[in-house]
Amino acid sequence: MPTDPQRPTPIPVIIDCDTGIDDALALLLAVRHPRLDLRAVTCVAGNTDVDGVVRNTLTVLEQAGAPGIPVARGAERPLIEAVRTARHVHGHDGMGDLGLPAPARTPVDTDAVSLLRREILASPRPVTLIPTAPATNIALLLRTHPEVTRNIERIVFMGGAVATGNATPVAEFNVWHDPEAAAILLTAGVPITMYGLDVFERVVVPGADVRRLRASTDPGTRLAGALLTHRGPATDEADPGGGLGDAGAVCAVIDPAGLTTHRLPVEVVLSPGPARGQTLVDRRARPGESELHGDAREQPLVDVALEVDVERYVALYLDAVEGI
């Protein structure tokens, strides 16, 4: 079938998430943006326990008017670490304790890794994976079914930090929660974009826009407003807006030109101690003494996001989530 240049074929995407206030914002965008074809959503323990993540994900998709997208339950703990939730950020239920209704349906009758494999290989065009959570499901997928990489276009993951961490001074939560899984993701052998804290923290929706979303008559738009309000306290107190968080990684798939990336070697620190879970990004212009003395190691090259056009991504988000 010929494609209309005004309406390019949607990009097939799968989101792997730990919904999660900002994962919910990401799902709302993916469901509503015409450039994306959200083919499946897989769930993993992170912000809350995996059953809570499944429940939250199903509820968000229903509120967004997209109840048919397959959702699968995935790993209930990281590869080696214990579960260490972020309920102090995301509320007891992982969704800001907004009192949302329980979902009407249940997840599919297969596990996340199987659903990922099936949907990736069945897609007529290579899939873009968007992990917005600890990478446990993705690592299990890559180790169980490595053949999937032949139909993966790119992995755009929220995780890591070039500069400052949040879970520790140097480690970002998703990578810190399951460092071994993140290391496996980075060596997947497909193009990878790292949407880390350096850009993640910056994309904030102004307070006036958040208030407008909250007043909407559409349940999905209203939910976006409520979720952004919950993310408000960390921003300008005079006019508390809300950060898009994980939804920024979805913006990066829709509109990569809004992001400045540099292709750089990235390595996850796996040793015990204060740096465990850090994404060590090598920004040096030339090899150092370590390499000159023969210590060079093979390291994956990753497109690391260093700058983001905040206004562009906020506008993209609001257009899609309100313009239904």
Residues engaged in binding ligand BDR (CB under 6 A): 20, 22-23, 47, 86, 89, 132-133, 158, 166, 172-174, 245-246
Which residue lies nearest ligand BDR, judged by its C-beta? 173
Helices 207-214, 310-322: inter-axial angle, 10-degree rounding = 10
Least spacing, CB of residue 202 vs ligand BDR, in Å: 13
Shorter beta-carbon distance to ligand BDR: residue 151 or 306: 306
Measure the CA–CA gap between 314 and 309, rounded to whole angstroms.
9
What single-letter amino acid sits at 186? Answer: L
Shorter beta-carbon distance to ligand BDR: residue 74 or 245: 245
Beta pairing, strands 279-281 & 301-308: unpaired
The CA-based diameter of the chain, rounded to the nearest angstrom, is 65
Least spacing, CB of residue 22 vs ligand BDR, in Å: 5
The residues of the shown chain that bind Ca ion, judged by CB under 5 A, are 18, 20, 23, 132-133, 246
With contact defined as beta carbons under 8 Å apart, do 48 and 55 qualify? no
Shorter beta-carbon distance to ligand BDR: residue 22 or 303: 22
> Coil, strand, or helix at residue 301?
strand
Least spacing, CB of residue 195 vs Ca ion, in Å: 11
Least spacing, CB of residue 18 vs Ca ion, in Å: 5
Least spacing, CB of residue 259 vs ligand BDR, in Å: 17
Shorter beta-carbon distance to ligand BDR: residue 33 or 90: 90
Within 8 A by CB and 6+ apart from 46, the residues are: 18, 20, 53, 85, 86, 133, 134, 173, 174, 177
Q: In terms of C-beta density within 10 A (0-12 exposed, 13-18 middle, 19 or more buried), how is residue 8 classed?
A: exposed
89 binds, among ligand BDR, Ca ion, none (CB under 5 to 8 A by kind): ligand BDR
Residue with tokens 């499946």: 40
Measure the CA–CA gap between 113 and 120, rounded to whole angstroms.
11
What single-letter amino acid sits at 25? Answer: L
Shorter beta-carbon distance to Ca ion: residue 165 or 207: 165
Token pair for 185: 């993701």
172 binds, among ligand BDR, Ca ion, none (CB under 5 to 8 A by kind): ligand BDR
316 binds, among ligand BDR, Ca ion, none (CB under 5 to 8 A by kind): none
56 binds, among ligand BDR, Ca ion, none (CB under 5 to 8 A by kind): none
Shorter beta-carbon distance to ligand BDR: residue 173 or 313: 173
Least spacing, CB of residue 159 vs Ca ion, in Å: 9
**Phi-psi label, residue 262: left if phi above 0, alpha if psi -120 to 50, beta otherwise:** beta
Least spacing, CB of residue 284 vs ligand BDR, in Å: 26
What single-letter amino acid sits at 181? Answer: A
Shorter beta-carbon distance to ligand BDR: residue 46 or 207: 46
- Phi, psi for 143 (deg, rounded to 5): -80, -30
